Structure 1
């Protein structure tokens, strides 16, 4: 094999390895990618297998604790749609009814969002951008009625 052919084979092998590495990185990102959505978008989506991060308000009067004291049911709303959420674990100290929250998990076939993580807003001004937009649109729609 001539030196030129060896160089060509090495360049081709290098490009193939680079393409393989790019594909592996891309597939790892796709598996761990979490989309931020509102309750309206969750209910409109047919994809129930994907991990989602849903933001909105914890509906007043919806917080229920099971007998074990660890499992909690509540409703997240964007004032247009409501999604029941079930979470097993300790809630953050700032988690309250009527306040903003972000839950991460999957929507089950029964329509209940099973959360693996619950985050509460950290001050009076914070709200996830998508949730703030959805709440504003819902409030404008109510005003028009």
Structure 2
């Protein structure tokens, strides 16, 4: 009788230990990934509900025509639009070769005092290669044009 109780007790301990290990590993994975997840927002979403200055997120759309201003040094400012709203962007660094006005872009950074401060800029020359979120945001605003075959 005592042997059966000991086995049962050991089994309960193993199950409890496995449950604690599972919860702990899930918590550690979540903690490790907290900075690796950047949510996407369109310019219209950013202007409608401005995120907190501490939140890192991605913004995407088209570089507004006539808005690119190259400052002193590596500072560049421009506006990104989805046709419904326009967000000022500041970036310090070297822009990708494909970066142009009226072309798609995706930036990662923070929205501070009404300006998106980008830490990374990705340029997309053709809508075919734009992230799905950017295409969806542009379609929602009626700005997106399907790429012509053969172009």
Shorter-chain TM-score bucket reads 0.7 to 0.9
Q: How many residues align?
A: 138
The counterpart of 1:52, out of the listed 33, 52, 57, is 57
SS in 2 for 1:14: helix
2:103/2:125 contact within 8 Å kept: no
What CA distance in whole angstroms lies between the structure 1 residues aligned with 2:106 and 2:63?
9
CA distance in 2, matches of 1:89, 1:31: 22
Structure 1 residue runs without a partner (length 5+):
141-145
The match for 2:137 is 134
Cα distance in 2, alignment partners of residues 27 and 45 from structure 1: 26
Report the TM-score, using the length of structure 1 for normalisation. Answer: 0.85
Deviation of 1:122 after TM superposition, in Å, equals 4.5
Residue in 1 that maps onto 2:146: none
Give the match's secondary structure for 2:129. Answer: coil
Pick from 108, 116, 120: which aligns with 1:117? 120
1:63 aligns with 2:68: yes
Deviations 1:53-103 (A, max 9, x none): 1110001111111111x1110100011101000011110000001111111
Q: TM-score, normalised by structure 2?
A: 0.82
Instruction: Give the unaligned 5+ runs of structure 2.
Output: 144-151
Match of 1:101 among 93, 102, 105: 105
